[in-house]
Structures are given as structure tokens and as C-alpha cells.
Structure 1
Amino acid sequence: MALGTSGCAMLSTQATMIPYSPSDGVNIPDSGPLQVRNVLVVSDEEGVDGNLVAAIVNGTSEAHTLNIEYGEGSSKSAEKIRVPANTTVSLGTAETDPLLLEGIDTKPGANLPMFFQSGDSDGILFDVPVLDGSLDYYGDLLP
């Protein structure tokens, strides 16, 4: 009798095997040789402009450029970030300012669709959360 009631965990997915982003930002999968981690945008309540905060990891022996696109149609914008070999560039820290994204037109609480690409990869379109400065540690990151 006990065998029939105790085997349910054997058939369910182990929760520790499910990938997730354990922070306010998101990790971008399959963007090429560069790994883009903990990406988020900080904006004021109007959501006109935003500051991109992220860690961009280059674990290769060559420098690479991360290409970023956001917006649609005539308001589409592009940015490039060069990351030296075997280096991590952390945007939004004491050493490196966040990257200003002008004209995002996305209010805090929503997601901003952004395209990330590096190396020879096709890149990926991913929804990046837009946060406000109500938490102390994001207050200094407002545009």
C-alpha cells in the first residue's frame, strides 16, 4: 500500500534541473560567443529612455562585439559593445556606466523586446524587464 502512494515524486521533474534567472534581470540564451547575464533596463515612470544594466562575459581568447537592437520601424535603434578576450564587462557598476537606450517607450513593469547577437550566431530576440528606481540599488541607475 505504501508503494502506491510514495512514488509520485519519482515521475515528476526535479525542480533544481529547471533553468531560471535568480535575479531581477534575465540571462540571454544563444547570443553567440558572448554570454549576456542579468540583463535589465531601468527607467523612470514615463519610460521614454532607459539604462541597460548587464554582465557580458567573453570566455574566448578573442575580442567580440555584442550587437543590440531595440525598437521597431523608424524608431529602431542599435548599439554595440566591444568585449575584450577573457573579460567581463559589467554595465551599471561603479567601474562602468549603464548603457543609455534612448526612445525605448516602455514603462516600468513591462518587457522591452531586444535583439542580442555576437560572433557568427543568428542572435536572439528576448524580452528584457524594465524596472523603476523605487528600490535603492536601482535609484542611481535611472537615466
Structure 2
Amino acid sequence: MAGKPVHKGRLKAREAYAVKVRVLVAAALAVSVALGTAGCNLIQPQATRLAYDPSDGVSVNVGGLDLRNLMIISDNGKTGNFLLSAVNSSGEDVKLHIGFISDNTVIDGHVDIPSNAKVPTSFGTKDEDRIILGGINTQPGGLLEVAFEVDGDMKTVLVPVLTSGQPEYNGLAPKNVITISK
């Protein structure tokens, strides 16, 4: 027995429809894979693009200086070694004024930061000059509010006070220091 003949026009229409469906399904699959693998980047900022302080210290920019890894090492909460790295990209030597309040009195001083955008000027480690702050009255684990000023531009930041108990800060706390302050 012979079956009914299939109309050739209908077969082509069905094949064309099937091809269109396959193309739409493939496109939808490609879009869902693209969104599934990159969707977080579309709605969330990339964590690697966020600026942060990778160490225990804090940072601040003031008057053409980039001050990095600011921290105070103190074992007694009274006298501290102020660690900092300064990058001076201003093209000129800069006088950095540092101040804080101790017993209702402003304690301030300054350090000279040479112009050198490639190599930071650092203070406080065993091989560098030290800035010793007397009268900080902040126990280790606390924060001391410190003001920085360069040519009229002033910023204030809370600087952590840490002990020399951590291996990386061993030997950095001031010992047997006689401090004369205001």
C-alpha cells in the first residue's frame, strides 16, 4: 500500500521553521552562558579595582604627597615610632607638617620629603630615620587622630597604634626615649 504523497512545499516550510527554532535556541543558550559567566561583572564592581591598604597602616594623599602605610608602633601607649612612606610626585621638595593633640595641647613638627616620584621616602624601620611621637596617650589597638599639612592643604586621618609584639614590628617601638614635648 502506498501512503499519501507528502507535499514538498510543506516539508520545506517545516525544515525552515526547524532551522529558525534551532538558531533561536542556540542564540538564547549563548546569551545565557555569557550572562552566567560574566553576570557578576555587569552588576558588581571588580574587587581588584578597589583601592585598599594591604598592610596594617592607613593611607592619605595631601598636597602632592602620597602617604602610605601610616602606623604608630608603641608598647606603652605614651611614646610611639611613626612609620610612613611618602611618595612626592610634586616635582619639588616638600615640608610635611605632622600634628596631633595630647592633653589639650597641639604637638606638631615637620619632616622634609625630597622630590622623587619613583622611590618613596620612608621613616620608622630599623634602617631608616625615625619620627618619635611623645604624648600620644593611645594604647596599642587604638587609633590616634593625626593631621598632615603641605602648603595649606590639610588632611586628618585615624592612625592605628600597634605593638612591637608582631614579628614584622619587633624592635620598632621606642625604648629608653627621653621626650621633651609641649
Q: Please, what TM-score do these two structures have when normalized by structure 2?
A: 0.69
Equivalence for 1:103: 135
Task: Give the RMSD, CA atoms, in angstroms.
Answer: 2.2
Matched, 1:25 2:57: yes
- Unmatched 5+ residue regions in structure 1? none
Higher RCO (C-alpha 8 Å, min separation 6):
1
Report deviation, 1:9: 4.1
Number of residue pairs the alignment of both structures matches: 140
The answer to whether the 8 A contact 1:41-1:129 is kept is yes
The answer to whether the 8 A contact 2:102-2:136 is kept is no
Q: Write the distance in 2 (CA, Å) between the matches of 1:37 and 1:58.
A: 11
Equivalence for 2:158: 127
Report deviation, 1:72: 5.0
- Unmatched 5+ residue regions in structure 2? 1-27, 175-182
- Relative to its length, the structure with more helix (as a share) is 2
Range moving further from structure 2, 72-81 or 61-70:
72-81
SS at match of 1:76: strand
Instruction: Give runs of aligned pairs for residues 1-143 of structure 1, distance below 5 A.
Output: 3=32, 6=36, 7-29=39-61, 31-44=62-75, 46-72=76-102, 74-86=104-116, 88-121=120-153, 123-143=154-174
Residue type at the aligned position of 1:79: G
Q: Please, what TM-score do these two structures have when normalized by structure 1?
A: 0.86
Q: Which ranges of 4 or more aligned residues in structure 1 deviate by more than 4 Å?
A: none
Q: Write the distance in 1 (CA, Å) between the matches of 2:155 and 2:139.
A: 22
Identity %: 33
Judging changes above 3 Å, is the alpha-carbon distance between structure 1 residues 74 and 8 closer, same or farther for their aligned structure 2 residues?
closer
Residue type at the aligned position of 1:38: N
Judging changes above 3 Å, is the alpha-carbon distance between structure 1 residues 73 and 142 closer, same or farther for their aligned structure 2 residues?
closer
Q: Write the distance in 2 (CA, Å) between the matches of 1:49 and 1:61.
A: 34
